[in-house]
């Protein structure tokens, strides 16, 4: 079981939502914001608090793409592969990032948990294609060279 500090935080969130099971998605969203993923024991605890089954909360948590049961990196890089970005060549950008971080389509978080690389279907910034975001900061009209430099800058900062 997790520690008292975590329990206190989770309790606060659940109570703020009136322990209402209809608020489940909003509650998990806040948990994910806090930990960058959904720890299993926290999910079980929420299920207990809301009086729903573990299966139910697992079903909801795995249905939506934004929820993750795996820990994510400190910097989440989202590469837009929506139609507009796709026709303006977003895949070479994805490949360059993966190559730089030694990731692939199965492994998308670096071992040091600094970066997680994901593709998204559309960020709604199609006028600026191709687009990536790093922790919600939008970078317009990127090139493979630019993203590699960007990653290296972040790495340097993180040391």
Partner 1 sequence: MLIKNYKDLISFADTFKNSLEKQSIKVLVCAGTGCLAGGSLAIYEKIKKLVKENGLLVDVDLLKEEKGIGVKKSGCHGFCEAGPLIRIEPFNYLYLHVKLEDCEDIVNHTLINGTPVERLMYKDNNKLYKTQEEIPFYQKQTRIVLGNCGNMDAENIQEYISKDGYKAAAIALTSMDSKEICKQISDSGLRGRGGGGYLAGKKWSQVLSQNNPTKYVVCNGDEGDPGAFMDRSIMEGDPHKIIEGMLIGGFSTKANTGYIYVRAEYPMAVERLRIAINQAREYGLLGENILGSGFDFDIHINQGAGAFVCGEGSALTASIEGERGMPRVKPPRTVEQGLFGCPTVLNNVETFANVPIIILNGVEEFKKYGTKNSSGTKAFALTGNVVNTGLIEVPMGTTLRDIIFDIGGGIPNGKSFKAVQIGGPSGGCLTFDESYLDLPLSFDSLKKVGAMIGSGGMVVMDEDTCMVEVARFFMSFTQRESCGKCIPCREGTKRMLEILEKIVAGNGTVDDLELLKDIADTVKNTALCGLGKTAANPVLSTLNLFHDEYLAHVVDKVCPAKVCKGLSTIYIDANLCKGCSKCARNCPVDAISGKVREPFVIDSKKCIKCGACIEVCSFRAILEV
By CB under 8 A, name the binding residues for partner 1: 21-26, 28-29, 59-60, 63-67, 81-84, 86-88, 120-129, 131, 136, 138-140
Closest contact distance (angstroms) between CB of 22 and partner 1 is: 5
CB of 158 vs partner 1, minimal distance in Å: 23
| Of residues 10 and 129, the one with the C-beta less far from partner 1 | 129
Report the distance separating Cα 72 and Cα 67, nearest Å: 10
Q: Whole-angstrom Cα distance, residue 157 to residue 151?
A: 10
For residues 112 and 121, which CB has a smaller minimum distance to partner 1 in the complex? 121
Between 110 and 119, whose beta carbon lies closer to partner 1?
119
Judged by beta carbon, residue 32 or residue 110, the one nearer partner 1 is: 32
Stated as kind and residue range, the H or E segment containing 117 is strand 115-120
User: Going by C-beta distance under 8 Å and a sequence separation of 6 or more, which residues neighbour residue 64?
Assistant: 25
**Minimal distance, residue 112 CB to partner 1, in Å:** 25
Can you tell me the distance from the alpha carbon of 125 to that of 82, in angstroms, rounded to the nearest whole number?
A: 10
Closest contact distance (angstroms) between CB of 88 and partner 1 is 7
CA atoms of 13 and 157, how far apart (whole Å): 32
């Amino acid at each position: 079981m997790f520690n008292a500090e975590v329990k206190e935080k989770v309790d606060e969130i659940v109570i703020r939502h009136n322990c209402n099971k209809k608020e489940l998605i909003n509650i998990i969203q806040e948990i994910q914001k806090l930990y960058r993923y959904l720890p299993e024991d926290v999910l079980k605890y929420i299920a207990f608090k809301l009086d729903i089954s573990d299966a139910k909360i697992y079903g909801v948590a795995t249905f939506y793409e934004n929820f993750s049961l795996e820990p994510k990196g400190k910097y989440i890089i989202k590469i837009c592969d929506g139609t507009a970005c796709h026709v303006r060549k977003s895949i070479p950008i994805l490949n360059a990032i993966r190559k730089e971080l030694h990731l692939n389509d199965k492994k998308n978080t670096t071992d040091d948990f600094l970066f997680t690389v994901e593709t998204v279907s559309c960020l709604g910034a199609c006028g600026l294609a191709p687009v990536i975001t790093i922790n919600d900061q939008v970078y317009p009209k990127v090139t493979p060279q630019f993203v590699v430099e960007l990653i290296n800058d972040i790495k340097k900062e993180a040391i």
